[in-house]
Amino acid sequence: MKLVLFMGLAFSLTVTDEGRHMSTVKVVRPADAVTTLHGAGDEYRYLVTGLESNGAYFVMEALVPPGGGPPPHIQTREEEGFYILEGVLTFWAGEEEIEAGPGTFLHVPRGASHNFRNESNRAARMLIVFAPAGIESMMEKIAADPDRYIKIGKQYGVEFLDKI
């Protein structure tokens, strides 16, 4: 535990191991070891899971190489937010195509068909937020058995589409 003073008030800060339920602040620094998955050509680095946020939300950092991005899909249980940190990604949401560069935020409500793709020649990096949490379990199962992604997705209320 570390004691921090702010405006004359003392706050305690506890950094815990990955995957442990917490009731204190979690800090993840760039070099910290966290769960990292590879899927849809992308690298997903978990920053906070539902276990750590009491089920409220799940946040991950995504590194999307040229050509990377998931297939079109609909989530029926989660709201999803994307914040672009580096690079440019093309998003499709319903009938709309959106070019998103650094500083762009997109909110995709549950039930909306969407996907993204890196159509540029350099990697893109973004934060992805899901609320409520839970979809991280689906992602882990798909990473372990990618050939069953459609069946696994259905168990979590995610429908993968041929096209939007």
One-letter amino acid of 70? P
Burial of 84: CB neighbours in 10 Å, binned 0-12, 13-18, 19+: buried
Query: How do residues 73-131 score in pLDDT, each as one tens digit?
Result: 999 999 999 999 999 999 999 889 999 999 999 999 999 999 999 999 999 999 999 99
The domain over range 29-160 is classified in CATH as 2.60.120.10: yes
Q: Please, which pLDDT band fits residue 23 given cuts at 50, 70 and 90?
A: low
Give the pairing type, strands 105-108 and 36-39. unpaired
- pTM confidence score: 0.84
Across all residues in the chain, what is the average pLDDT? Answer: 88
Q: Please, which pLDDT band fits residue 24 given cuts at 50, 70 and 90?
A: confident
One-letter amino acid of 132? P
The C-alpha atoms of residue 37 and residue 149 are separated, in whole angstroms, by: 14
pLDDT for 4 equals 39
Q: Please, which pLDDT band fits residue 22 given cuts at 50, 70 and 90?
A: low
- Going by C-alpha positions, the residue among 101, 107, 96 that lies closest to residue 124 is 101
Instruction: Kindly write down the DSSP assignment for every residue of 38-68, as one continuous string.
Output: EETTEEEEEEE-TTTTTTS-EEEEEEE-TT-
pLDDT tops 80 at residue 144 = yes
pLDDT for 40 equals 83
17 Cα distance to chain centroid: 20
The C-alpha atoms of residue 135 and residue 110 are separated, in whole angstroms, by: 12
Domain residue spans of the chain: 29-160
Run of H or E residues at 140: helix 135-144
